[in-house]
Amino acid sequence: MIDETLTMIPGPTPVHPRILKALARPTVSHVAPVFVEDFKKALADFQALCQSSTAQPFIVAGGGTLSMEMGLVNTVAPGEKVLVVSHGYFGDRFGDLAKSFGIGCEVLRSEWGRAVAPEEVAKALAAGQYAAVTITHVDTSTGTVSPVEEYLKLLKGRPELVILDGVCATGGVDERFDEWSLDVLLTAPQKAIGAPPGVALTLFSEKALARRRSMATVPAYYSDVMRWLPIMQDPGKYYSTPCVNEIVALAEALRMVHEEGLPARFARHGRIALSVRAGLAALGLKLFTAPDCRGDTLSVILLPEGVADLAFRKEMAARGVVVAGGLGPIAGKAFRLGHMGNIGAGEVVKALGAVEGSLKALGVEVQPGAAVAAAASLLP
Ligand code: PMP
């Protein structure tokens, strides 16, 4: 039987057959002209996805956490301080990273499911001295989208570098690197870009690269952007063997992103989020994330009273849909449903149908067909 399991966790997300076909191309030399062309295309298309015409892209075998590390160690020296604006598990990870490298950090933490008020950021900036500020665009643990533009207004003209974690946003949510004067945008391919995991994606402004150049050394070898820069400027050169197949797949995923067009892609993510949430509401389910800060890429849903987390996810899996559990304080109390990347009406309908069936199997009273009916009118 063909495994038709639908992976609706907040990353990795379903990979389109076109991208899988690219991934399955024979592995070639990392300096083969055919690969070098794909590598160059992926770099250019990633820069365009981040809406920059000048910033320096880096594509390195690794993952989102490596991209966080690259963003931090190349811009903040040990002994300097970073201000971490955290909306959950992945925001907090910047604090852990900072500690690992002897970088001082102040973590501004919101209540889970809410966003840090811009006034809090303003106060922290006035009270401390920071080399950089980290912001998680959409925190995958809480579903919270940061009011990035409001934070950026406060940072305009200030010396702190701005590091934005787009791992759960890039490709699904508008991110304007040049217009917003970002310094590092870091992300990964396995979420809203819709490619398989395996690479760290970062984009560095000239100011961020100048900061790296001003530091004689950084506490890193593989993560040091200076070692990668010659390869990113000429992908035919060697530093450490790139993950050839994953980069070919990423190039294909980025081609699909630009074929769809950024405004259309972001609008699709917005509509899918609305339709999923209309469907969930029709089943009587409540979202964990506060209404004013819900990211379009995933929903964090409270389990109804009496419904056990593992039993629910087992019922979902039996219906061919995999969702993720809650993290941190909402572990066992909520589930997370990813709705980003290369998905459309079919995936939404299957996921909502499975939620309805699972709840019913666990004794929750639901109106048959209500979720899909509520979602249908809003679907793209
Ligand atoms: N940042 C965010 C917002 C994430 O969601 C994740 C992964 N879920 C990461 C960073 C870390 O990425 P990875 O698991 O690829 O290391």
Give per-residue pLDDT as tens, 187-229: 999 999 999 999 999 999 999 999 999 999 999 999 999 999 9
CA distances from 185 to 54, 88, 128, 182, 205 (A): 13, 19, 23, 7, 9
Q: Assess whether the C-beta atom of 91 lies below 6 angstroms from ligand 1.
A: no
DSSP 115: -
Both tokens of 41, joined, read 């295309």
Nearest one of 65, 294, 48, 44 to 186, comparing CA atoms = 65
Q: Assess whether the C-beta atom of 89 lies below 6 angstroms from ligand 1.
A: no
Q: What is the pLDDT of residue 364?
A: 97
Q: What is the pLDDT of residue 4?
A: 81
Give yes or no for residue 1 having a pLDDT over 50: no
- What's the CA gap between 40 and 242, in Å, rounded? 13
Q: Assess whether the C-beta atom of 136 lies below 6 angstroms from ligand 1.
A: yes
Both tokens of 358, joined, read 């699972």
DSSP 329: G
Adjacent-strand bridge partners of 329:
none
CA distances from 344 to 13, 349, 350, 363 (A): 12, 9, 10, 29
Q: Assess whether the C-beta atom of 168 lies below 6 angstroms from ligand 1.
A: yes
Which residues have C-beta within 8 Å of that of residue 142, sequence separation ≥ 6? 87, 88, 89, 112, 113, 288, 289, 300
- Is 340 strand, coil or helix? coil
- What's the CA gap between 159 and 132, in Å, rounded? 8
Assign 3 a pLDDT band (cuts: 50, 70, 90): low
Give the distance (Å) from ligand 1 centre to CA of residue 69: 11
- What's the CA gap between 270 and 220, in Å, rounded? 39
Nearest one of 266, 272, 293 to 352, comparing CA atoms = 272
What share of the chain has pLDDT > 90, as a percent?
98
**Count, residues in the chain:** 380
- pTM score: 0.98
Assign 377 a pLDDT band (cuts: 50, 70, 90): confident
Q: Assess whether the C-beta atom of 144 lies below 6 angstroms from ligand 1.
A: no
Q: What is the pLDDT of residue 238?
A: 96
CA distances from 285 to 86, 305, 307 (A): 26, 10, 12
**Left (φ > 0), alpha (ψ -120 to 50) or beta: where does 143 sit?**
left
The type of residue at 193 is I
Q: Assess whether the C-beta atom of 94 lies below 6 angstroms from ligand 1.
A: no
Both tokens of 227, joined, read 């070692």
Average pLDDT over residues 283-309: 98
Give yes or no for residue 368 having a pLDDT over 70: yes
Q: Assess whether the C-beta atom of 64 lies below 6 angstroms from ligand 1.
A: yes
Both tokens of 331, joined, read 């572990």
Give yes or no for residue 287 having a pLDDT over 90: yes
Give the distance (Å) from ligand 1 centre to CA of residue 284: 30
Adjacent-strand bridge partners of 321:
6
The type of residue at 279 is G
Give the distance (Å) from ligand 1 centre to CA of residue 323: 16
Query: Concatenated DSSP letters for 349-369?
Result: HHHHHHHHHHHHHTT----TT
Q: Assess whether the C-beta atom of 165 lies below 6 angstroms from ligand 1.
A: yes
Which residues have C-beta within 8 Å of that of residue 333, sequence separation ≥ 6? 302, 303, 309, 326
Assign 2 a pLDDT band (cuts: 50, 70, 90): low
Q: What angle is formed at CA 148 by the lines to CA 133 and CA 42, rounded to 5 degrees?
A: 85
CB–CB of 235/250 below 8 Å?
no
Give per-residue pLDDT as tens, 143-191: 999 999 999 999 999 999 999 999 999 999 999 999 999 999 999 999 9
Give yes or no for residue 248 having a pLDDT over 70: yes
Average pLDDT over residues 44-53: 98
Q: Assess whether the C-beta atom of 204 lies below 6 angstroms from ligand 1.
A: no
- What's the CA gap between 96 and 104, in Å, rounded? 10
- What's the CA gap between 292 and 145, in Å, rounded? 9
Average pLDDT over residues 232-250: 97
CB–CB of 289/113 below 8 Å?
yes
Could you tell which of 68, 72, 140, 163 is best to mutate to test the pocket of ligand 1, judged by most ligand atoms within 8 Å of the CB? 140
Q: How far from each other are the two terminal CA atoms of the chain, in whole angstroms?
A: 30
CB–CB of 296/269 below 8 Å?
yes
Give per-residue pLDDT as tens, 338-367: 999 999 999 999 999 999 999 999 999 999
Give per-residue pLDDT as tens, 111-121: 999 999 999 99
How confident is the prediction for the chain on average, in pLDDT? 97
